[in-house]
Structure 1
Amino acid sequence: MGQRPAPAGAIDTSSPRGTPLGGDPDNSRGSSGGRDGFEVFYEATYRRLAVQLHAYLGDRAEAEDVVQESYIRAWQRWSAISRYDEPFAWVRRVAWNLATSRLRRLARAARLLRQQRPVTVASAPSPDHVALVAALRRLPDQQRRAVVLHHLADLPVASVATELGVPKNTVLSWLHRGRAQLAAYLTETDSASRPNRAADDNPTGR
């Protein structure tokens, strides 16, 4: 693959330092369909997509791979994609499709191998972030995708319906169920952590 914008195993949610470019499909660097146009697009949109995919996959390294691959595919077709009304929608759709395929492959591998590779985390996420990602991973795939697209990607319900290829009412149902499940999971996590916090506050047990 190409150059990564963050250290291995971690998504850098700041603006990426470089783009995953190989050859230049358009020699006119100054045009929107050339290298300069792609670099501006990449730097402006990378962070949003990285955050969405990390929330969906629950794994920084996997999310980074998927995001990089989606931008590489966009770069390979940039002379055409740059003329689309919404190039980012194309990249996002590719990334989500790649992520869904990867989840299926990981599930099959987990059933066969029952093991996970270690993940190196660049910086420790906050407890709230860990709890949210863990709760999202417990949702059914379609509910999780709808919640991430609507609440993290800020897409309106109609756009989420178009993105997922389902009726608007179906998305509303997924969002309603997903939010209810998330609230239950997060409450459950908070309740489970309270005894530990109490023990920390009173280490002598008195």
Structure 2
Amino acid sequence: MAADDAAFAEFYRGAYPGLVAELYAYTGSMAEAQEAAQEAFMRAWSHWRKVGSYEYPRAWVARVGYRLAVSRWRRARSAMTSMLRHGPPPDIAPPGETSVALVAALSQIPEAQRRAVVLHHMGGYRIAEIAAIEGVAEGTVKARLSRGRQRLAELLADGERADEDENKEARHA
């Protein structure tokens, strides 16, 4: 394995700068060139035993890099076409104080409870659907929802009390 690591590291050091230069000339964007080259080398690394045995492993990486660059270009072109056809996405108002407080409180409850609460109350999923998504029993989902709601209520009440205290202090100042 150490030999594979060393061989790949040498290959990468030797081939990466040239591939980035090629892709930069091809795409006209240094950022796109670097991203495509990095992704191509990541793919080469994950298949290094096979790719490293090729007569021209750099050609394989270059082909992958060019295909990635073209794929990115096609996605960008499709997005532009869509925007021209349908117009830009509508402006979305920034979140209000209530949303910010809710998200802050959600971030303080355990992840499983947070997912259950968000899936149920924001995603509109039924308990059976959440159980299927999570791969747990419906009773587990019900318990997570109950505990999550209880903890959220505590956190949001604590936040309201803190806001009230700040408002009292501001009035007396």
Shorter-chain TM band? 0.3 to 0.5
Query: Whose RCO is larger (CA < 8 A, sep 6+)?
Result: 1
User: What TM-score comes out, normalization by structure 2 length?
Assistant: 0.47
Structure label with greater radius of gyration: 2
TM-score (norm 1): 0.39
